[in-house]
Amino acid sequence: MKAPSCCPPSQPSSPAGTEAARGTALLAIAGSPNVGKSVLFNALTGAYATVSNYPGTTVEVMRGQARIGGRQWEVLDTPGMYSLLPSTEEERVSQAILMQQRADVVLHVVDAKNLERMLPLTLQLLEAGLPVILVLNLMDEAERRGIQVNLKRLEQELGIPVVATVSTTGRGVKELRAAIAHYQPRPRTEMLTYGEKLEEGIAAVSELLPPDLELDRRAVALLLLQGDEETAQRLGTGAEVAAVVAEHTRRHAQPLAYLVATRRQRRASELATAALEIPEARDRTTQERLSELLINPWTGIPILALVLYFGLYKFVGGLGAGLAVDLLEHRLFMAHVNPWIQGLVDHNIPWPAARSLIAGEYGLVTLGLRYAVGIILPIVTFFFLAFSVMEDSGYLPRLALLIDRVFKQIGLSGRGVIPMVLGLGCATMATLVTRTLPTRRERVIATLLLAVAVPCSAQMGVIMSLLHARPALFAIWAGVVVLVFLFIGFLAARVLPGEAPHFFMELPPMRLPRLSNVFMKTYTRVEWYLKEILPMFLLASLLIWLGQLTGVFDWLVGVLAHPVTWIGLPPEAGKVFLFGFFRRDYGAAGLYDLDAQGLLTGVQLVVGCIALTLFLPCVAQFLMNIKERGAKMGLAISLFTLVFSFVVAAAINGVLRGLGVHL
């Protein structure tokens, strides 16, 4: 079917012209989440990738360089999207990239075994006049299910190159590189039509659009008719277009977005029927059976407990926070680096204040660098390894699906599991990852929960060493922290304005992780940690040094003595909470020292652990909260956390003492 003569398609600017302006060709990778886009990006670019925020947003975009067909290409891995009509911030960023960057080639990566569901986005990209290559990824999974794809038939029907790949093994990547290198735009042979009334609306809006558009005029008109406010604002279409859109919206009993999506899905079904051979019946694979076990609450929750115990407690806590920290902090920094720096400073810097800034008890090197590299770096590295294994195996999306119903009650969708799990490694890094949540409301709730009730691995490791021999104390501490997490989330979900979260996630296949992919992801995240978080620890050391130099520290300890005694702890615990703000594990270690000296009863110990866990997050997380949520919201979260921690601790202390409990 050809486009109606009333609204002939406009062509975007020549890709060659944009390449000349940039100096390199541009390759954009688009597609739904969990279809292997990032793995394909790594296969094309190697380790030469950077991550940066898209201008004006908190959404991260990966950029890399690749040499393909004798040309230098800049490669963009766009955030996951299901449609060019955006409903999340990630989709808005992806739409903006595809509409404004004018890529020389767009790779639409799809899950081959779910081709029918993903082809509507392919049709949208083609309607927009983009230079598309369709990449059927996860072909091994499709073949395992007995699905056969007629690539030539699909190429003929769509009029674009189609390449089959398995990005995790590299299968088809050579053929994909060849398709990119030899890509030539083909004349369009088909355009979807949407019924006489809607076509009239498309034609009417098209006539009012500016002459020079990034995309096909017809595609832009369709976006506007479906209520795409971002496109309307970017083009400045004005009241006249808005009036035409409103008029044609009233003519239809159903939403225009629904009518358009239905027509595209019908065409996608026709294409899938023509190109796919799907067996009528087959036995379930082992991976499918395992997937069902992971998302079933009766089996998924016990499996989650095992993953948390062996993956986080044993691997991250035991090897990372135990063995690796001992090697780096004690045997490297304490035994060699700090003494060497101390001697170097003592011999070359005559000013005591300057010496203490670099190599004093709270110096930039002796505290800040030692803490960031000797303690937190090994912990988060082991955590990133565990996280990458969960991600590459396909477990993480299933975990999100498992807990989605619970998280909906606290204002988050299943996607919120990612920053919460990351927070058990490093809450500062997890706060940054809240950028991946689709709405501001969800990002605020997640930041609040991370600040109040998610202990990082450094703090949790010390608290567990304090309480592991006293199971009753540990049960009280864990129970209170979990209840606070649920209560704060439940309350925030009902106080903060905004719509309830929606959750839709593509489930990737279960598979054994490839070590090369796991190490590549871990390397990229560790590099990010060093760039983003290390400066914050150095800033924290500077603040501590200033506090000691000016006497502010002693004054703050005196101030904290009042709420500390109010919750039943000795006045000496004031320093514990102050140090807990600068280093979470230092605060817990301070409790350890007080307990070792016999200054704490069992009730005081568990109350102190609860108060310290709920207390202000470390200074690095405090600064990250302000950076991510803004000064007003970041300070409000911190003030609430400060007051709430002492109120809860005082209540627990009162209940335990009132009941005459002796622990």
The mean pLDDT value of the chain amounts to 82
Q: Are 371 and 501 in contact (CB under 8 A)?
A: no
Give the model's pLDDT for residue 80. 86
Give the model's pLDDT for residue 655. 92
Q: Give mean pLDDT, residues 350-357.
A: 84
67 contact partners, CB below 8 Å, separation of at least 6: 73
The answer to whether the Cα torsion of 88, 94, 98, 100 is positive or negative is positive
Rounded Cα gap, residues 473 and 16, in angstroms: 68
Give the model's pLDDT for residue 635. 93
2 residue type, one letter: K
Q: H or E segment at 71? A: strand 71-77
Beta bridge mates, 26? 74
Q: H or E segment at 417? A: helix 417-423
DSSP 473-526: HHHHHHHHHHHHHHHHHHHHHHHS-SPPP------PPP-PPPHHHHHHHHHHHH
Q: Are 410 and 492 in contact (CB under 8 A)?
A: yes
390 residue type, one letter: M
SS3 category, 50: strand
Tokens representing residue 422 in the block: 């990351």
DSSP 427-478: HHHHHHHGGGSSSHHHHHHHHHHHHHH---HHHHHHHHHHHTT-HHHHHHHH
Condensed to tens digits (0 to 9), the pLDDT of residues 611-654 reads 989 998 887 788 888 988 889 999 999 999 999 999 999 999 99
70 residue type, one letter: G
479 contact partners, CB below 8 Å, separation of at least 6: none
Tokens representing residue 122 in the block: 């392919």
Nearest 5°: CA angle at 582, between 581 and 588? 65
Tokens representing residue 159 in the block: 């009029």
Q: How many other CB atoms are found less than 10 A from the CB of residue 567? A: 22
Higher-scoring residue by pLDDT: 590, 353: 353
C-alpha closest to that of 610 among 489, 483, 486, 477: 477
Q: H or E segment at 607? A: helix 602-614
Give the pLDDT band of residue 20 (cuts 50, 70, 90): very low
Give the model's pLDDT for residue 1. 36
Give the pLDDT band of residue 235 (cuts 50, 70, 90): confident
Q: Is the pLDDT of residue 124 over 80?
A: yes
Highest average pLDDT, of 50-64, 499-513, 578-592, 623-637, comes from: 623-637
Q: Give mean pLDDT, residues 211-236.
A: 82
Condensed to tens digits (0 to 9), the pLDDT of residues 263-306 reads 999 999 999 999 988 777 666 777 778 888 888 889 988 988 88
Condensed to tens digits (0 to 9), the pLDDT of residues 575-590 reads 888 878 876 766 776 7
Q: Is the pLDDT of residue 110 over 90?
A: yes
Q: Name the burial class of residue 44, with classes exposed (0-12), middle (13-18) and buried (19+) by CB atoms within 10 angstroms of its CB.
A: buried
Tokens representing residue 473 in the block: 């104390």
Tell me how many helices (H) and strands (E) the chain has: 32, 9
Rounded Cα gap, residues 542 and 47, in angstroms: 34
The residue length of the chain stands at 663
591-596 CB contacts, 8 Å cutoff, 24+ apart: 591/462, 591/466, 592/462, 592/465, 592/466, 594/570, 595/466
Q: Give mean pLDDT, residues 230-255.
A: 83
C-alpha closest to that of 35 among 90, 114, 128, 104: 114
| pTM, rounded to two decimals | 0.67
Give the model's pLDDT for residue 283. 66
Nearest 5°: CA angle at 445, between 441 and 449? 170
Rounded Cα gap, residues 426 and 460, in angstroms: 11
Q: Is the pLDDT of residue 3 over 60?
A: no
